[in-house]
Amino acid sequence: MIELSGLRKVYPSPDGDVVALDGVDLTVERGTVHGVVGRSGAGKSTLIRCLTGLERPTSGTVTVDGVTISDLPEKRLRAARRRTGMVFQHVNLLDSRTLAGNVAYPLEVAGVDRAQRAARVAELLDLVGLGDRASAYPAQLSGGQKQRVGIARALATEPAVLLCDEPTSALDGGTTRQILGLVRDLRDRLGITVVVITHEPAVVREVCDAVTLLEHGRVVQSGALAQVVTQVGSPLSRALVPVPDLPPGGRRRLVEAVYATDAVATSAAFAAVAGLGDDVEVVSATIEPLGGVRVGRLIVDAPAARTDEVVDRLRAAGLDPLAAPAGQEVA
Ligand SMILES: Nc1ncnc2c1ncn2[C@@H]1O[C@H](COP(=O)(O)OP(=O)(O)OP(=O)(O)O)[C@@H](O)[C@H]1O
């Protein structure tokens, strides 16, 4: 659906070239929500601008919905852009137009006739839960409602892909969850492919099926959510399933395993450490839904000298455990 291959973007600057994207290969499957995360300056916005065709890559290709947009001449690029909807952190609505007028705007630009426009606008406002507010003005809306209008407007030209740049950064927790619920709903009902740029792990946990971590313009880790979080100790596992606060122990080391509960039963994980004696203890066990599967995390506290034994037992049970490095004993 979306295919980035060897994507490189270099900005010339008086102080030397800035390499914003440095050979990014990425596939986003049709009908999935894909998160792109990374620190400030990692290249996230550049990636999204390349996806919209606003930015031409220095080298490499960008293919969206079967069209290699990085190769298109300007005129054809404009038509191809209609297949991509954009949602931003701050929604720029036209204050002098009603909600219906705002959603109709891209249809007017695309030359859709009045009757068709009215029907489509009504349908879109219903889709985002604002069917009864068509004649309201932006000033009468909450931040979350404005974002819904922004989403309806982005969907007006029936894009195959929705690109969301920090869509919930300006919203509070409850509103964020509602907007992310809407994004999931659109994926399910319309089969649309969504790319979400975010710096918030909670957004990835809530809405994404897959995620890519960028660092200095490169892909550091990428994959289905359940897959990346079960790579215990990996940067995305750390960011998305943070280690809980643990009670102080003695000169002990922690062994940690993250697993998909459909691959390893939690009872098997517990059984693996049972019978190792009183000095080996499960100090944390959590199960939570992530990326469509239930992800378990088990943390075992053991005397430093027995860590290898614990690791072996968990491995035999099908887990992929990681012991805290020597020297990182719990105080
Ligand atoms: N037009 C430009 N000219 C020169 N350098 C640029 C330009 N746009 C981006 N950069 C540089 O490219 C790198 C990647 O920037 P980009 O905006 O893509 O990062 P980002 O991950 O989106 O960051 P943020 O989260 O702060 O928005 C940065 O070093 C940035 O300074």
pLDDT single digits (tens) 14-30: 999 999 999 999 999 99
Q: What is the model's pLDDT at position 56?
A: 92
Tokens 């440095």 appear where?
Answer: 22
Is 330 within a domain?
no
Please tell me whether residues 154 and 284 are part of one structural domain: no
Ligand 1 pocket: which of 8, 46, 165, 166 to mutate (most atoms <8 Å of CB)?
46
Question: Model confidence at 71, in pLDDT bands (50, 70, 90)?
Answer: confident
Please tell me whether residues 158 and 293 are part of one structural domain: no
Which CATH number covers residue 275?
3.30.70.260
Is 205 within a domain?
yes
Task: State the burial class of residue 290 (Cβ atoms within 10 Å of its Cβ: 0-12, 13-18, 19+).
Answer: buried
Please tell me whether residues 216 and 249 are part of one structural domain: no
Which atom of ligand 1 lies nearest, measured to the CA of 199? 25
Indicate the pairing of strand 33-37 with strand 210-215. parallel
Spacing, Cα 12 to ligand 1 middle (Å)? 12
Please tell me whether residues 165 and 60 are part of one structural domain: yes
Please tell me whether residues 131 and 49 are part of one structural domain: yes
- Would you state the structure tokens that stand for residue 82, as one six-digit string? 């209609």
Would the pLDDT of 172 be above 60?
yes
Give the structural domain span for 110: 2-224
Which CATH number covers residue 17?
3.40.50.300
State the helix-helix crossing angle for 114-127 and 99-109, rounded to 10 degrees: 130
For the ranges 43-52, 111-120, 177-186, 275-284, the lowest mean pLDDT is seen at: 275-284
Q: What is the model's pLDDT at position 241?
A: 81
Beta bridge partners of 22: 8
> Cβ distance 98 to 136 under 8 Å?
yes
Please tell me whether residues 11 and 44 are part of one structural domain: yes
Is 12 within a domain?
yes
Domain boundary among 176, 196, 224: 224
> Cβ distance 94 to 139 under 8 Å?
no
pLDDT tens readout for residues 276-292: 888 888 888 889 888 77
- Would you state the structure tokens that stand for residue 153, as one six-digit string? 């407007």
Please tell me whether residues 67 and 182 are part of one structural domain: yes
* Those residues with Cβ within 8 angstroms of residue 271's Cβ, 6 or more apart along the chain or in another chain: 317
Rg (CA), the chain: 24
Residue with CA closest to ligand 1 atom 12: 20
Q: What is the model's pLDDT at position 61?
A: 95
> Cβ distance 152 to 130 under 8 Å?
yes
Is 238 within a domain?
no
Is 229 within a domain?
no
- Please report, rounded to a whole number, the percentage of residues in the chain having pLDDT higher than 70: 95
Question: Model confidence at 331, in pLDDT bands (50, 70, 90)?
Answer: very low
Please tell me whether residues 215 and 269 are part of one structural domain: no
Is 141 within a domain?
yes
> Cβ distance 261 to 292 under 8 Å?
no
Please tell me whether residues 219 and 251 are part of one structural domain: no
For residue 202, what are the CA distances in angstroms to 121, 173, 176, 177, 240? 31, 10, 10, 9, 7
Please tell me whether residues 37 and 150 are part of one structural domain: yes
Spacing, Cα 312 to ligand 1 middle (Å)? 45
Output the DSSP codes for 60-109. Answer: EEEEETTEEGGG--HHHHHHHHTTEEEE-SS----TTS-HHHHHHHHHHH
Please tell me whether residues 260 and 220 are part of one structural domain: no
Looking at this protein, which amino acid is placed at residue 89? Q
Would the pLDDT of 255 be above 90?
no
- Give start and end residues of each alpha helix (H) in the chain: 44-52, 74-81, 99-109, 114-127, 143-155, 173-190, 201-207, 225-229, 235-240, 266-273, 307-316
Residue with CA closest to ligand 1 atom 31: 41
Q: What is the model's pLDDT at position 272?
A: 87
Q: Determine whether the shortest distance from the Cβ of 13 to ligand 1 is under 6 A.
A: yes
pLDDT tens readout for residues 85-106: 999 988 899 999 999 999 999 9
Residue with CA closest to ligand 1 atom 4: 11
Domain boundary among 224, 258, 278: 224
Q: Determine whether the shortest distance from the Cβ of 11 to ligand 1 is under 6 A.
A: yes
- Would you state the structure tokens that stand for residue 155, as one six-digit string? 């969907």
Question: Model confidence at 155, in pLDDT bands (50, 70, 90)?
Answer: very high
Domain boundary among 224, 257, 275: 224
Q: How far apart are CA 299 and CA 39, in angstroms?
A: 28
Q: How far is CA 74 from the centre of its chain?
A: 30
CA dihedral (272, 313, 301, 293) positive or negative: negative
pTM for the whole structure: 0.85
Structurally, the chain folds into a number of domains equal to 2
Is 68 within a domain?
yes
Please tell me whether residues 65 and 192 are part of one structural domain: yes
Is 231 within a domain?
no
Ligand 1 pocket: which of 15, 19, 45 to mutate (most atoms <8 Å of CB)?
45
